[in-house]
Amino acid sequence: MSDTSAAEPRHEVNLVVNGVPRSATVPARRLLSDFLRHDLGLTGTHTGCEHGVCGACTVLVTGAGRSDDEGVSGRPIRSCLQFAVMYDGAEITTVEGCTRPDGELGPVQQAFQDCHGLQCGFCTPGFVTTITAYLEENPSPSEEEAREAISGNLCRCTGYQNIVASVLRAAELKSEEVGG
Amino acid sequence: MTETAGRTAAEHESARPETAGPRTGAPEGVAHDAPERFVGKAVRRKEDPRFLTGRGRFLEDRNLAGQVYAHFVRASVAHARITGIDTAEARSVPGVVAVFTADDLEGVRPIPLIRQPPDPGVPLPELRTLASGTVRWVGEPVAVVLAESPEAAADGAEAVQVSYDPLPAVCLVEDAIADDAPTLHEGFDDNCCFRTSYTGGDAEGAFATATHRVRRRMVNHRVAPFVMEPRGMIAAYDRYEQAMDVWITTQRPHHTRWFIGQVLDMPEHLIRVDAGDVGGAFGAKEPMYPDEAAVAFAARALGRPVKWVEERAESFLATTHGRDHVADLEVAFDGDGVISAMRGRILGNMGAYLYPNSSGTIIGRTGPLLPQSYAFDSIDVEIVGVFTNTTPTGPYRGAGRPEATYYTERLIDEVAAELGLDPAEVRRRNYIPAGEFPWQTPTGLEYDSGDYAAALQTALDEIDYDGVRALQRNGTDDGRLIGVGIASYVEIGGVTPSSVAAMEGSPGLWESAAVTVHPSGKVNISMGTCGHGQGHETTFAQIAADTLRIPYDDITIAYGNTETSPFGFGTFGSRSAAVGGTAVLRACEKVVTKARRWAAELLEADERDIEQVDGAYQVSGVPTSRIRFADLASKTLMLMKPLADGEEPGLDAIAYFDPPNYTFSSGTHACVVEVDPLTGRVEVSDFVAVDDCGTVINPLVADGQIHGGVAQGISQALYERIVYDADGQPMTSSLMDYTVPTAAQTPELRTARAVSASPVNPIGVKGIGESGAIGSTPAVANAVLDALRPAGVRDLDMPFTPERVWAALQKG
């Protein structure tokens, strides 16, 4: 993405995305979502509404932007409502980083495939990140809790039925790993 | 039953692979080792890993070197004369490259219609790329700014000054046809852009002799398709090749190519269109839009790639809306609740212009489907398309079908209420009997197959109908009102066979599939359909694997790119499985025929003695005289002998399918609602969808289609509504004002299945993509009215928001 004009001041943003140090120089008004997508080429994070409602742009952040999250790692945020410059020094996980270290599908991703939790796939990255964070907080949710956990994200294809099932399946896969 | 997806015995039957395989036309194998069959199985989707790892290729993900960004200046008033457009300040914004208005569009032709309504006697208003002289809806593109960055394009658009001389606006259909209404288009003094009638039997006679009648004015309100991925497009023009590359999030890439050729007067062989991964569509990514034409024009004019992605607020204005009818319908019936005729009028709000395909929605779907599941043989209904100062309407999941089902199913419940009969029983008394197919409707359709009473019974059993009725009679402790709603439906799928196309003002829409067999025996299949979430890469590979009898993993399915896919019409109208899936089957059958011929030659046997077994061809009953499919593929491409005259190398094949008729999926949706009389809040406490889509290719995918459709249908009944104020200003242009339901607002849904194979295609499949959205809305509406009727509420329009329901209860 080219910049508005030569006159607009630019700022260097250094952060770690999916374990890899990255940096880019951007105008102050560059949204974190656009920064990830266009400046860093990580197009898995999608923007569906640009006003923080749909959740497709959800990424997980550790260590910047808010003072009250000491010790909280992988907090889900709406990257379309944040400026990239606020995340200088942060660690961010996007959907691309939700795979296993060897690149195979991670437990949440695998659960979505097992349960047909996605159709067009556009909202999916935001669900995968949201659920990844949620299962850290609550490793064995009830169906009702699973439904509640995803109720900040919009999906127009699935009617959420199989996404709820995917949350439960992901919890199962994760606990098998821990147990096994 | 508490399972997320309750299954009936009927479904288990259908999902058994050995009973659900396609009829390949291949001779019966004599002996083979327990062949794996894929049709009917819940195969996990091939397309999922790329979406799950963020590797989908959506429009906004793509960038071209040197691209500029488009931002539209859109009409801010609903109806006005443009008295001036000042672009000077915009041109001086740093980064702005160009600003185009209608005056700059030399040589750009109007966007042609692909659905022709009945001739109104005067020329229909031309659909132009940018507004010229007059704006007629808030959101109409007036100018487009091109700039080096999206921010600069937005700043530039902000700086364009458009002066308006306001004209009176009209947004509601009944207001628009009133005598003193403002007129939108010259020659259309009454704002009616088309009129057509559905007449059959003797409605006049039936009404004259009927002992009972019931009439309702029903509003099927305007909703937004709300597609997760907004529309967008990148166009790049090469002046030396005089060719254009287009990436666009669309359901119809070949049609888009044709449209661009028409609008820019370019030959199609120099236009390449690629849909990439499409993030949902629901009918909203079918037509060619004026803004898309402007992007193509700008790319050619500037000689630089132009990228445009709709913003969400812009999408609420600029992408077609759905539904928006007012129906005034009446049925005649006897003392047993047997209906003899329907009559009345439906006004369809077409918005400010007819978009290329939008008249087909009400003309080709709503009107013909009014008889629904019922045997009455007389009808006299007029359908009128009306211009208003609103966003143009177009197909939205169901595209005219949900409206027809809504009206008829509401009326069936009114018949039951009038006579004090059980609405389930009234349906039984009026259904087309299962033994009577093919069935001719008085509106000119020929239903292919179905068993409506069976689906109803399954639905009643699933929701424990008698138990819920008892609960309803006894009342709840906390005063909550319980309602039970049933809606049966019949829908048109597999659009549009050439044999019936004239009825909907369309050409015949066949489908294509091209099979490429590589020397390794691995297979690519290119399709003319263009999936966008329906799992085509999986389900079509299932059909191919069964027909070719090769491993499922040896097959890939591709679509969406006009360079690599054969001409086809795309994905909409519940057509892809029935029409495109059959094209896959036919193309694979051709491959099998070629393979058998080559096998005979290579095995030095008579072709009639060659049988297809899993992964190979052999002399019938002689496994030692066998050639593997992969070896056949290799030997027929890497030839060791000269080709005989007329002989073709390899096993590739292309096939087309133009079905003899539509398919007619059917079913019954049933639900239980609880209404809190203190707040008016409606909660769907149980919902079951029983759908008959004929042969099920993949139950996982089929259930997913139903879930999504039902969620949208329930949402129309309870939450969603596009609202304009009296001046035509949209009041619902963000997700803060327009309710797209979350998981918390979407009830648990259960699905069950009935199976009546379609006789119009060899797979026996019918459409499933729209069914969920068709039965669910009237099921909820009937349930809400069932709950409210004892409190004295006899009629209420959707959406059943707490405010509306509470107010209705106060009036009682």
Residues B42-54: pLDDT tens digits? 999 999 999 999 9
| B709/chain A closest Cα distance in angstroms | 7
CB atoms B55 and A94 under 8 Å: no
When pLDDT is averaged across residues A20-46 and rounded to a whole number, the result is 96
B162-198 confidence digits (pLDDT tens): 999 999 999 999 999 999 999 999 999 999 999 999 9
Ranges A21-25, B28-32, B309-313: which has the least confidence: B28-32
B/e letters for B482-521, b = 16+ CB within 10 Å, e = fewer, are bbbbbbbbbbbbbbbbeebbeebbbeebbbbbbbbbbeeb
Q: Is residue A42 part of a domain?
A: yes
Claim to verify: residue B700 and residue B606 sit in the same structural domain: no
Pick among B43, B96, B228, B312 to test the A interface (most A CBs inside 10 A): B228
Pair B523, B487 in one domain: no
Using the beta-carbon criterion (under 8 Å), do A4 and B742 form an inter-chain contact? no
Say if A84 falls within a structural domain.
yes
Among residues B460, B533, B541, the alpha carbon closest in space to that of B41 is found at B541
Q: Is residue A5 part of a domain?
A: no
**Residue A69 confidence (pLDDT):** 53
Please check whether residue B359 lies inside any domain of the structure. Answer: no
C-alpha distance from A70 to closest chain B C-alpha (Å): 29
User: Is pLDDT of B36 > 90?
Assistant: no
Interface contact B279-A49, CB threshold 8 A: no
pLDDT at B1 over 80: no
Q: CB-hemisphere CA count at 13 Å for B413? A: 26
Cβ count near B803 (within 10 Å): 12
Q: Is residue B222 assigned to a domain? A: no
Q: Among residues B73, B87, B77, which one has the least CA distance to residue B165?
A: B77
Cβ-based contacts of A154 with chain B (< 8 Å):
228, 735, 740, 742
Chain B contact set for A120 (CB, 8 A): 228-229, 277-280, 532-533
Looking at the fold, whether A72 and A128 belong to one and the same domain comes out as no
Q: Is residue B216 part of a domain?
A: no
A4–B708: do the CB atoms touch at under 8 Å? no
Residue-wise pLDDT for A104-155, tens only, equals: 999 999 999 999 999 999 999 999 999 999 999 999 999 999 999 999 999 9
* Contact flag B743-A47 (C-beta cutoff 8 Å): no
Instruction: Select from B285, B312, B742, B750 the residue whose CB has the most chain A CBs within 10 Å, as the one to mutate to test that interface.
Output: B742
Within 8 A of B94 by CB-CB distance, chain A residues are 4-7
Inter-chain CB pairs, A–B, below 8 Å: 190
Residues of A in contact with B736 (CB under 8 A): 51, 53
- Beta pairing partners, B245: B236, B272
For B653-786, strand residue ranges (E) read 653-657, 663-675, 682-692, 750-753
B810 with B441: CB under 8 angstroms? no
Cα-to-chain-centroid distance, residue B569: 13
Q: Say yes or no for a CB contact (<8 Å) between A49 and B735.
A: yes
Burial of B2 (0-12, 13-18, 19+ CB in 10 A): exposed
Q: Is residue B124 part of a domain?
A: yes
Whether a cis peptide bond, with omega within 30° of 0, leads into B649 is: no
A131 plus A141 within the same structural domain: yes
Is a pLDDT exceeding 50 seen at residue B156? Answer: yes
Residues in A closer than 8 angstroms to B749, CB to CB, are: 159, 161
When CB atoms are compared, the residue of B47, B58, B744 closest to A148 is: B744
Residue B300: closest CA among B250, B232, B241, B231: B241
Domain shared by B35 and B92, yes or no: no
Check whether residue A109 and residue A65 sit in a common domain: no
Do A92 and A103 belong together in one domain? no
Yes or no: say if B59 and B580 are a contact pair by the CB < 8 Å rule. Answer: no
CA B175: distance to chain centroid? 29
Which DSSP string corresponds to B759-786? Answer: TTSTT-B---TTHHHHHHHHHHHHHHHH
Same domain? For A93 and A151 the reply is no
Considering the domain boundaries, does residue A162 fall inside one? yes
The answer to whether the CB of B501 falls within 8 A of the CB of B488 is no
> Measuring CA to CA, how many Å separate B302 from each of A3, B62, B65, B109, B802?
20, 19, 14, 18, 52
Using alpha carbons only, what angle is made at residue A36 by residues A32 and A40, rounded to the nearest 5 degrees?
Answer: 135
Q: Give the separation between CA B726 and CA B703, rounded to whole angstroms.
A: 41
pLDDT score at B476: 85
Neighboring chain B residues of A105 at a CB cutoff of 8 Å:
49, 52-53
Question: What are phi and psi for residue B374, nearest 5 degrees?
Answer: -115, 155
**Mean pLDDT confidence for B426-444:** 98
Give Cα A160 to chain centroid, integer Å: 18
Distance from CA of A141 to the nearest CA of B (A): 15
Calculate what percentage of chain B has a pLDDT beyond 70: 96
Peptide bond into B496 cis (omega under 30): yes
Contact A3 B149 (CB under 8 A): yes
Asked whether residue B369 is domain-assigned, the answer is no
Number of domains in chain A: 2
Task: Give the H or E element holding residue A26.
Answer: strand A20-27
* CATH assignment at residue A16: 3.10.20.30
Task: Identify from A49, A132, A166, A169 which residue to disrupt to test chain B contact, counting B C-beta atoms within 10 A and taking the largest count.
Answer: A49
Structure tokens at B688: 């079951």
B484 and B528 share a domain?
no
Q: Please give the pLDDT value at position B770.
A: 98
Q: In this structure, are B475 and B557 located in the same domain?
A: no
Task: Measure in Å the smallest separation between the Cα of A68 and chain B Cα atoms.
Answer: 27
- For residue B809, CA distances in Å to B77, B481, B676 come to 37, 11, 10
Contact B626, B609 (CB under 8 A): no
Q: Does residue A119 contact residue A67 with C-beta atoms inside 8 Å?
A: no
Q: Strands, E, within B637-756: which ranges? A: 653-657, 663-675, 682-692, 750-753
Taking the C-alpha atoms of residue B332 and residue B340, their distance in angstroms, rounded to an integer, is: 6
pLDDT: which is higher, A178 or A33 = A33
The pLDDT tens digits for B710-733 are: 999 999 999 999 999 999 999 999
pLDDT band at A179 (very low <50, low <70, confident <90, very high): low
User: B149–A125: do the CB atoms touch at under 8 Å?
Assistant: no
B279-296 confidence digits (pLDDT tens): 999 999 998 999 999 999
Residue type, B432: I
Give yes or no for residue B336 having a pLDDT over 90.
yes
Q: Are B53 and A105 a contacting pair at CB < 8 A? A: yes
- Does residue A60 lie in a domain region? yes
Judged by CB atoms closer than 8 Å, whether chains meet at B312 and A109 is answered as no
pLDDT above 90 as % of chain B = 93
Model confidence pLDDT, tens digit, residues B730-750: 999 999 999 999 999 999 999
A18 and A73, same domain (yes or no): yes
Residue A106 and residue A85 in one domain:
no
Same domain, B693 and B715: yes
**pLDDT at res. B505:** 84
Residues of chain B with C-beta less than 8 angstroms from the C-beta of A98: 53
Residues of chain B with Cβ-Cβ distance to A42 below 8 Å are 54
Backbone angles phi, psi at A125, to 5 degrees: -55, -40
Decide if A116 and B704 are in contact by the 8 Å CB cutoff: yes
Which of B52, B315, B684 to mutate: most A Cβ within 10 Å? B52
Same-domain status, A127 and A149: yes
**Residue A50's closest chain B neighbor by CA?**
B312
DSSP secondary structure of B61-118:
G---TT-EEEEEEE-SSSSEEEEEEE-HHHHTSTTEEEEEEGGG-TTPPPBPPSSPPP
Nearest to B95 among A4, A49, A113 (CB): A4
Residues from chain B that touch A99, judged by Cβ atoms under 8 A, are 53
Half-sphere exposure of B520 (CA within 13 A, CB side): 7
Domain's final residue, options A97, A114, A140: A97
Q: At what angle do helices B423-430 and B401-419 cross, to 10 degrees?
A: 110
Q: Whole-angstrom Cα distance, residue B341 to residue B370? A: 11
**A44: nearest CB among B47, B55, B708:** B55
Mean pLDDT of B528-542: 97
Chain B partners within 8 Å of A150 (Cβ): 742-743
What is the rounded CA–CA span in Å between residue B548 and residue B653?
12
A112 and B52 in contact by Cβ < 8 A? yes
Label residue B23 by pLDDT band (50, 70, 90). very low
Please say which residue of B657, B691, B706 terminates a domain.
Answer: B657
Which of A72, A97, A122 is the last residue before a domain boundary?
A: A97
CATH of the domain at B139: 3.90.1170.50
Measured distance CA(B325)–CA(B16) in Å, rounded: 42
Nearest to B745 by CA among B665, B683, B808: B683
Q: Answer whether residue A27 is part of any domain.
A: yes
Query: What CATH number is associated with residue B562?
Result: 3.30.365.10
- Identify the CA nearest to B411 among candidates B435, B439, B445, B376: B376
Q: What is the pLDDT of residues B674-683, one digit of tens each?
A: 999 999 999 9
* Residue that terminates a domain, selected from A48, A75, A97: A97
Pick A122's closest partner by Cβ from B53, B279, B704. B279
Three-state DSSP state, B757: coil
Q: Strands B523-527, B555-559: parallel, antiparallel or unpaired by DSSP? A: parallel
> At B350, phi and psi to the nearest 5?
-90, -5
Decide if B123 is inside a domain: yes
DSSP-derived 3-state class of residue B685: strand
Same domain, B515 and B629: yes
Q: In 3D, which of B348, B373, B512 has the Cα closest to residue B439? A: B373
Are the Cβ atoms of A154 and B63 closer than 8 angstroms? no
- The reply to whether A20 and A72 lie within a common domain is yes
Residues A82 and A108 in one domain: no
pLDDT, tens digit, for every residue of B592-639? 999 999 999 999 999 999 999 999 999 999 999 999 999 999 999 999
pLDDT recorded at residue B287: 86
Q: How far is B674 from chain A (nearest CA, A)?
A: 19
Q: Cβ of B228 and A154 within 8 Å?
A: yes
Show which of B638, B657, B676 is a domain's final residue: B657
The range of the structural domain enclosing residue B647 comes to 2-58+510-657
Which of A43, A156, A162 faces B227 most closely, judged by CB atoms? A156
Residues B33 and B79 in one domain: no
Asked if A57 and A79 count as a contact pair (C-beta separation under 8 A), the reply is: yes
Note whether B443 and B531 are same-domain residues. Answer: no
Are residues B66 and B51 part of one domain? no
- Residue B371 domain-assigned? no
Q: Is residue A51, in this structure, part of any structural domain at all?
A: yes
Position B20 confidence tier, pLDDT thresholds 50, 70, 90: very low
For residues A110 and A86, membership in a common domain is answered with no
Q: Which residue in this structure is represented by tokens 């259909």?
A: B173
Residue in chain B nearest A97 by alpha carbon: B53
Mean pLDDT of A2-20: 82
Domain span at A144: 99-179
Residues B679 and B773 in one domain: yes
A123: closest chain B residue by CA: B228
Specify the pTM: 0.95
Query: Which two tokens mark B546?
Result: 């069964």
Q: What is the mean pLDDT of residues B804-808?
A: 98
pLDDT attached to residue A178: 78
pLDDT at B250: 98
Residue B699 — very low, low, confident or very high, per pLDDT cuts 50/70/90? Answer: very high
pLDDT of the residue at A65: 54
The minimum CA-CA distance between B50 and chain A, rounded to whole Å, is 9
Q: Express the helix, strand and coil content of chain A in percent, nearest 5 each.
A: 40, 15, 45
CA-based nearest distance B283→chain A, Å: 13
Q: How far is A78 from chain B (nearest CA, A)?
A: 15
Provide the pairing of β-strand B616-619 with B610-613: antiparallel
Q: How far apart are CA B605 and CA B637, in angstroms?
A: 20
Instruction: Say whether B701 and A116 touch across the interface (CB within 8 A).
Output: yes
User: pLDDT tens digit string along A141-157?
Assistant: 999 999 999 999 999 99
Q: Which residues of B touch A29 (CB under 8 A)?
A: 151
Q: Are residues B434 and B541 in the same domain?
A: no
Instruction: Using only the alpha carbons of chain B, give its radius of gyration.
Output: 28
3-class secondary structure, A66: coil
Domain end point (choices B318, B342, B366): B318
Instruction: Give me the CATH number covering residue A174.
Output: 1.10.150.120
Q: Give dist(CA B624, CA B273) in Å, integer.
A: 49
The region, left, alpha or beta by phi > 0 then psi within -120 to 50, assigned to residue B680 is left
| Pairwise CB contact (< 8 Å): A43 & B60 | yes
- Chain B residue closest to A99 (CA)? B53
Domain count, chain B: 3
Token pair of B419 as six digits: 């006579």
Q: With contacts defined as CB-CB under 8 Å, which chain B residues touch A51?
A: 312-313, 734-736
Is B743 in contact with A94 (Cβ distance < 8 A)?
A: no
Q: What is the mean pLDDT of chain B?
A: 94
Instruction: Determine what percent of chain B falls in helix, strand and coil, rounding each to the nearest 5.
Output: 30, 25, 45
Q: Is B370 within the bounds of a domain?
A: no
| A106 and A171 housed in the same domain | yes
Sign of the Cα pseudo-torsion (A36, A42, A45, A47, in order) = positive
The H or E element spanning position B705 is: helix B699-718
Asked whether residue A4 is domain-assigned, the answer is no
